[in-house]
Structure 1
Amino acid sequence: MIPVDEPLYGPAARAMRDALRATTAHAGDSDPDMDEALRRVRQRSALSKVAEYFTEHRPADPMTEAARMTAALTAVGLDVAAARPVLRSLPFPDTGITRGEYGHRVLAQAGGAR
């Protein structure tokens, strides 16, 4: 039983959502709206990881396309299929932009989610 004053995103609510997902994921009763919302949350989380990486690891170095692809793959656990939507969301690096500036731009794009 969840107490009335429990926030929507508290541990008990999260556990209930996880249990609900586990029961519907295998029955084929997937809700397209929920699937889309979960995909966006995962993508926002991956974008936040990419932004965090660039602002913490060598932020003064110039931003390159290779770093963009490497960070996207690392953020999703080296899963190429999962990296594609993240790469589509990441802007191409401008000439002369640093990794730190790029990370802040990506973080702003992700809505500041951390």
Structure 2
Amino acid sequence: TQNIREIYKELIREAIFENVSDEIPYESDVIIEKIEESPTMDKVYAMIVVEKPSQKGIIIGKGGETIKRIGKHARKLLERFSGKKIYLELFVVVKKGWTKNKKELENLGYIM
């Protein structure tokens, strides 16, 4: 449902803020692509959108360490909220200029 998507998005963003240097989170967003719900576990597929290729590298980190840390932190937040086990899959995508592109901002829900 839409409310769950928004809550999951914000919890994943919180994990990004807490695990990545200051400048990256403000030029990033999270898109919940799909949630598969069951009584005991939710499978959540989310895309982290960044502005520049260098930011993608920072989010992923050396050997994938940063994205693993973000994922682990976010999964704990989602599990605490939902009361269920969470399978979380994160992808990082570069969309150059998305923060200045009206259509992208509309797609991400920043402009109505």
Which category describes the TM-score, using the shorter chain as reference length?
0.3 to 0.5
Q: Which has the higher strand share?
A: 2
TM-score (norm 1): 0.34
Higher relative contact order (CA 8 A, sep 6+): 1
Q: Which has the higher helix share?
A: 1
* Larger Rg, first or second structure (1 or 2): 1
